Amino acid sequence: MIDLLARITHDPAQMGGRPCIRGLRVTVGTVVGLLAAGRSSDEILAAYPYLEADDIRAALTWAAWRSEEIEVPLRAS
């Protein structure tokens, strides 16, 4: 899982700081959204030939991990 998550990059100067695949201008949200819309991995890889199958798995892994996070509000001192 760690190897897959290493494929997800964050750069405030790229795509508004949204998580991207390997520094490319393809966001995790784009990949997960395409899957949610019913596109297959093969269709996504054909549309984005610079992506790899592990990039799709990484996007799903990141999205699953992120959805389990709990945000804890900070108290003002």
Q: What is the pLDDT of residues 5-22, one digit of tens each?
A: 999 999 999 999 999 999
SS3 at position 19: coil
Do the domain assignments include residue 77? no
Do the domain assignments include residue 68? no
Q: Which residue has the higher pLDDT, 72 or 65?
A: 65
Mean pLDDT of the chain: 92
Do the domain assignments include residue 40? yes
Do the domain assignments include residue 72? no
Do the domain assignments include residue 32? yes
Q: What angle do CA 23, 25, 29 make, to 5 degrees?
A: 100
Q: Give residue 69's pLDDT.
A: 77
Is pTM, for the whole model, over 0.95?
Answer: no
Do the domain assignments include residue 75? no
The residue range of the domain holding 10 is 2-63
Q: Which amino acid is at 2?
A: I
Number of folded domains that form the chain: 1
SS3 at position 66: helix
Do 20 and 11 touch, CB atoms closer than 8 A? yes
CATH of the domain at 30: 1.10.10.10
Q: What is the dihedral of CA 47, 13, 3, 65, to 10 degrees?
A: -90
The stretches of the chain forming alpha helices (DSSP H) are 2-5, 28-36, 41-47, 53-67
